[in-house]
């Protein structure tokens, strides 16, 4: 099939499992798709690809479910070659503008993120995934301390190890693949330190038994770690990282039943890398700027993955954390729904019955994981007053405690005004949960008008009210 000059146009933001599955399903049903992603290659976090210039000979050894990736990759290539999908790499979307007759997706192009691009579409799918929750502890700003997903991204994307001797710590199902991946790539993994007690999962045997593939995946990682003699400490936490120029060791300690450090259980482990993660949070900036309702921390969607804003769908971890397979199922449902709705039809639920079944089962499964894998309830007790919490503005824990205590701040916004915590480059994306925890107020994703920092010149030159004419070729886009 040649370039499709006619037909409705969908903009998909995010080329991870969810965005890819949606783009393929929609494009196969006559929708012109612009697949927009900030990365240089499709794949998202789970299928993160290394740059072609690095010449990875066997990239599959760093991945799981490689056959699914091959299917997605080849499907995308066929749709791009057929002119049905325009894959816009290195496009950093900062705002999606809703208009009376559609949407304009505003992006910044290239590594410098200075060249503005606007993509006009009839519908938008937000598939922007999630980001890691980071909690501070003494020494967490030392070079060599990275997030667990960051270590994984270095390995998959850059084919490099963050160091030679690693401790992997925090909580959540991501820690096992990260530890196994680092070990398989040649790092010595001195310890895996998990705050939760996975044995608690046994209480949910009925739900777990319905997911033998997930159980087998967990068992494979556990066997791999055992084979490589990685010491696994459950119900333990890192209380401090030590070093002068960079991390040289960490102190870990056991936790009691309430999530408090048990005095006298501290032990020091030498390492040059600490990969630490405390779970993930959905990316919701673009959805919130569009006015989409949230459900908890994720974007609220209906059975067809529609948000409450007409013309806007959301799929994958932007709607809640649940792994790549759930993202694939949600993406497919969204793609089928979009293809039907853009052609003024109601989608036939039978067309996505299998995906819907997988979706409900996996949502139930991950809801349980969410209750089991939580940061230690009293993690703030380990954060000394001089620990920097907001790295952008260098705000120590003492300032946040003072704001919430003597100065009476009762929410993250007021703490920010009093201390500048969350006012820097990352706009609180990193320190938000930590500030909320230390100030003892509820964490809510802060509403930001733009998802990315935007040069003032770009902002001044963007005509938000301009009426855009639709491009007939999905590859035909121009500066805004
Ligand atoms: C750092 C990290 C590493 C991970 N590693 C693993 C792992 O090894 N194993 C595992 O099972 N799970 C891993 N996960 C979990 C993983 O996110 C999910 O399993 C799965 O990839 C979610 O799919 P998704 O399509 O919803 O989102 P993602 O795969 O996260 O894809 C979202 C895509 O949206 C793009 N994007 C986001 N915002 C914008 C924007 N404003 N403009 C343009 N593009 C944007 C991103 O570049 C990304 O490609 C990791 C998560 C993170 C954050």
Query: Could you give the CA distance from residue 76 to residue 43 in angstroms, rounded to a whole number?
Result: 11
Q: Residue 95: pLDDT above 70?
A: yes
Please compute the mean of the pLDDT values over residues 78-83 and round it to a whole number. 96
**Among the listed residues 186, 94, 15, the one whose alpha carbon sits nearest the alpha carbon of residue 453:** 94
pLDDT for 294-308, tens place per residue?
A: 998 999 999 999 999
Residue by residue, DSSP assigns 175-188 as HHHHHHHHHHTT-E
Q: What is the mean pLDDT of residues 299-328?
A: 97
Which of 157-161, 294-298, 314-318 has the largest mean confidence?
A: 314-318
pLDDT value, residue 467 = 41
How would residue 207 be classed by pLDDT, with cut points 50, 70 and 90?
confident
User: Which of 340 and 468 is assigned the larger pLDDT?
Assistant: 340
Q: Is 19 in the pocket of ligand 1 (CB under 6 A)?
A: yes
* Average confidence (pLDDT) over 163-191: 95
Mutate to test the pocket of ligand 1, among 16, 90, 305 (most ligand atoms within 8 A of CB): 16
Instruction: Tell the residue number behind the tokens 């159980």, with chain if given.
Output: 215
Q: What is the average pLDDT across 103-110?
A: 93
How does pLDDT run across 235-270, given as a tens digit for each residue? 999 999 999 999 999 999 999 999 999 999 999 999
- Band of pLDDT at residue 475, cut at 50, 70 and 90: very low
> What pLDDT is attached to residue 317?
97
Q: What was the pLDDT predicted at 448?
A: 78
For residue 237 and ligand 1, the question of a CB distance below 6 A is answered with: no
Give the residue from 72, 57, 238, 67 showing the smallest Cα distance to 159.
Answer: 57
The pTM of the full predicted model, rounded to 2 decimals, is 0.91
From the number of C-beta atoms within 10 Å of its C-beta (0-12, 13-18, 19+), residue 255 rates as buried
Q: How far is the CA of 131 from the centre of ligand 1 (A)?
A: 7
* Cβ of 17 below 6 Å from ligand 1: yes
Task: For ligand 1, say whether the CB of 283 is within 6 Å of any of its atoms.
Answer: yes
Smallest Cα–Cα separation from 303: which of 336, 343, 345?
336
**In the predicted model, what is the mean pLDDT of the chain?**
90
Concatenating the DSSP letter of every residue in 202-239 gives: GGGHHHHHT-HHHHHHHHHHHHHHHHTT--EEETEEEE
pLDDT at 85 over 60: yes
pLDDT of residue 339: 96
Please tell me if the CB atom of residue 69 comes closer than 6 angstroms to any atom of ligand 1: no
Domains and CATH numbers, the chain: 9-131+281-368 (3.50.50.60), 136-277 (3.50.50.60), 380-439 (1.10.10.1100)
For ligand 1, atom 24, which residue shows the shortest CA distance?
129
Q: Which two tokens stand for residue 388?
A: 């920097």
Mean pLDDT of 350-358: 92
Structural contact between residues 88 and 37, judged by C-beta atoms closer than 8 angstroms: yes
Question: What is the structure's pLDDT at 476?
Answer: 40
Q: How far is the CA of 67 from the centre of ligand 1 (A)?
A: 18
Nearest to 375 by CA among 438, 421, 322: 438
| pLDDT-based confidence at residue 4 (cuts at 50, 70, 90) | low
129 lines ligand 1 (CB under 6 A): yes
Report the pLDDT averaged over residues 451-461. Answer: 87
Percentage of the residues of the chain whose pLDDT score is greater than 70: 94
Between CA 3 and CA 473 the distance in angstroms is 7
pLDDT in tens, 366-419: 999 988 999 999 999 999 999 999 999 999 999 999 999 999 888 888 999 999
Contact 196, 374 (CB under 8 A): yes
Cα 314 to middle of ligand 1, angstroms: 14
Q: 428 is written with which tokens?
A: 């609180």
pLDDT band, residue 5 (cuts 50/70/90): low
Report which ligand 1 atom has the smallest distance to the Cα of 19. 25
pLDDT at 182 over 80: yes
What is the Å distance from ligand 1's center to 282 Cα? 10
What's the rounded mean pLDDT across residues 89-116? 91
């Amino acid at each position: 099939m040649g370039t499709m000059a006619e037909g409705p146009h969908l903009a998909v933001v995010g080329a991870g499992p969810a965005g890819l599955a949606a783009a393929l399903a929609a494009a196969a049903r006559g929708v012109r798709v612009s697949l927009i992603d900030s990365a240089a290659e499709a794949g998202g976090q789970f299928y993160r690809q290394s740059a072609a210039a690095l010449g990875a000979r066997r990239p599959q050894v760093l991945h799981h479910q490689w056959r699914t990736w091959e299917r997605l990759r080849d499907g995308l290539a066929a749709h791009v070659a057929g002119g049905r999908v325009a894959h816009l790499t290195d496009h950093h979307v900062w705002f999606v503008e809703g208009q009376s007759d559609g949407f304009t997706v505003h992006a910044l192009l290239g590594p410098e993120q200075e060249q503005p691009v606007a993509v006009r579409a009839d519908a938008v799918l937000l598939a922007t995934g999630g980001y890691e929750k980071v909690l501070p502890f003494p020494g967490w700003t030392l070079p060599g301390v990275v997030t667990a997903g960051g270590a994984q991204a270095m390995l998959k994307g850059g084919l490099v190890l963050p160091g030679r001797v690693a401790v992997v710590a925090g909580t959540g199902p991501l820690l096992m693949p990260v530890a196994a991946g680092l070990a398989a790539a040649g790092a010595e993994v001195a310890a895996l330190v998990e705050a939760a007690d996975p044995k608690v999962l046994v209480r949910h045997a009925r739900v777990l038994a319905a997911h033998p593939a997930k159980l087998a995946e967990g068992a494979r990682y556990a066997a791999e770690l055992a084979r490589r003699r990685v010491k696994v400490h459950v119900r333990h936490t890192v209380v401090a990282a030590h070093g002068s120029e960079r991390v040289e060791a960490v102190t870990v300690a056991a936790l009691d039943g309430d999530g408090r450090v048990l005095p006298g259980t501290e032990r020091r482990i030498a390492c040059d890398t600490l990969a630490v993660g405390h779970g993930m949070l959905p990316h919701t900036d673009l959805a919130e700027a569009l006015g989409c309702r949230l459900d908890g921390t994720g974007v609220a969607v209906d059975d067809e993955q529609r948000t409450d804003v007409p013309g806007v769908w959301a799929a994958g971890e932007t709607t809640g954390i649940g792994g790549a397979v759930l993202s694939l199922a949600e993406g497919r449902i969204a793609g089928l729904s979009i293809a039907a709705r853009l052609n003024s039809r109601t989608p036939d639920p039978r067309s996505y019955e299998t995906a819907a079944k997988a979706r409900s089962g996996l949502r139930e499964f991950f809801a349980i994981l969410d209750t089991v894998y939580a940061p230690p309830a009293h993690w703030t007790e380990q954060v000394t007053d001089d620990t920097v919490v907001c790295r952008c503005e260098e705000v120590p824990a003492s300032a946040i405690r003072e704001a919430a205590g003597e100065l009476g701040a009762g929410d993250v916004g007021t703490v920010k005004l009093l201390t500048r915590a969350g006012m820097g480059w990352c706009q609180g994306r990193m320190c938000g949960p930590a500030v909320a925890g230390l100030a003892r107020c509820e964490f809510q994703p802060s509403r930001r008008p733009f998802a990315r920092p935007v040069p003032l010149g770009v902002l001044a030159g963007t005509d938000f009210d301009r009426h855009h004419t639709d491009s007939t070729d999905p590859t035909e886009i121009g500066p805004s």
